Amino acid sequence: MRLLFVFLFASLSAAAQDSLLFPRFSVTASSSPALFETNARIDPEVTGQQGTLISLEHDLGLDDSRTLQRFSVQWRPFRRHELAATHFSAPRSATQPIVRTITFRNQIYSINTLVTTQFDLDYTSLTYTYWARRTERDGFGITIGAAALSMDASVSTLGFDVTVTQTQRADTDVPVALAGLQGRVAFLPRLHGEASVATLPRITIGDYSGDALTAAARLEYRPLNWLGIGAAYHYFRLNVDVEQTTLRGAVDMTIRGPEAFVRLAF
């Protein structure tokens, strides 16, 4: 009888630890002082001409750091199958004189022209992970998914007539397919680590040609079964060429930085 009791206690303890490492459903909110590096070229509508490759941070004065609010949801409908969604937005704006001549779409901006720049970025991803290995102490999964980046950029300046504002605008939605790996480990019953990496080799999707890389590492402490707090580091890199009839150009963007998060798990 005592042996049966010990066996049942061990089984329940393992199940509890397993549920902490692999919750059925969770919602995560995080804050990250992210660093940005954004290089872009927006070509004129005249075929055969190219715009100027510019750094949005150095040439146009956008902040190279900004606090991001990231939100994600995870749902595990079956033991080895997990779905996840993530979203964040990063609007930035600046006004400063430029130090070199810049061609942005159909407008040429001369040296010392005072320009106002607005660059809005929205990121949403949906992923599916199959946990090929899953125990009470660790797990190893294969992830596939897709991300959508919505970018809206505008550059404007006052013309010779100060009542007239000259503005050039470019916006596009970039689809990104991702495939990668994910791992989890329980260092202690309530202290967990997680790492993931996903990539898109350089391929062409419709009017877009490019590559992407995203990676993350996370350390989480669960003071309560339903509450997790922790720290993470995120890295995202996108290099894409756009060849649409309404927009031609290229974007090379990196977003990276640490974050603090809170997770509610059930």
Q: How far is CA 43 from each of CA 27, 50, 221, rounded to the nearest angstrom? A: 41, 5, 48
- Of 165 and 151, more confident: 151
Give me the amino acid identity at 75: W
Contact call for residues 170 and 150 (beta carbons, < 8 A) = no
Give me the amino acid identity at 153: A
d(CA 172, CA 69) in angstroms, rounded, equals 22
Give per-residue pLDDT as tens, 157-179: 865 444 446 788 888 888 888 89
Average pLDDT of the residues in 43-60: 88
Contact call for residues 160 and 179 (beta carbons, < 8 A) = no
CB atoms inside a 10 Å sphere around CB 210: 20
Place of tokens 């660059």: 119
Average pLDDT of the residues in 58-65: 94
Q: Which residues of 117-131 are buried (b: 16+ CB within 10 A; e: fewer)?
A: bbbebebebebebeb
Query: What is the model's pLDDT at position 206?
Result: 73
Contact call for residues 68 and 32 (beta carbons, < 8 A) = yes
Average pLDDT of the residues in 109-128: 93
CB atoms inside a 10 Å sphere around CB 163: 6
Contact call for residues 233 and 216 (beta carbons, < 8 A) = yes
Query: What is the model's pLDDT at position 48?
Result: 74
Q: For the chain, which residues make up each domain, given as ranges? A: 2-265
Place of tokens 């339903």: 226
Give per-residue pLDDT as tens, 94-117: 999 999 999 998 888 889 889 999
At 106, list the tokens. 């159909």
Which of the four CATH numbers 3.30.450.20, 3.90.1170.50, 2.40.128.90, 3.40.50.150 does domain 2-265 have? 2.40.128.90
Mean pLDDT rounded to a whole number for the chain: 88
Residue 6 has pLDDT above 50, yes or no: no
Give per-residue pLDDT as tens, 15-43: 444 469 999 999 999 999 999 999 999 99
Residue 12 has pLDDT above 50, yes or no: no
Helices and strands, counts by H and E, the chain: 1, 13
End-to-end CA distance of the chain: 33
d(CA 30, CA 2) in angstroms, rounded, equals 46
Residue 50 has pLDDT above 80, yes or no: yes
* Residue of 226, 222, 25, 17 whose CA lies nearest to 136: 17
Name the pLDDT band for 202 (thresholds 50, 70, 90): confident
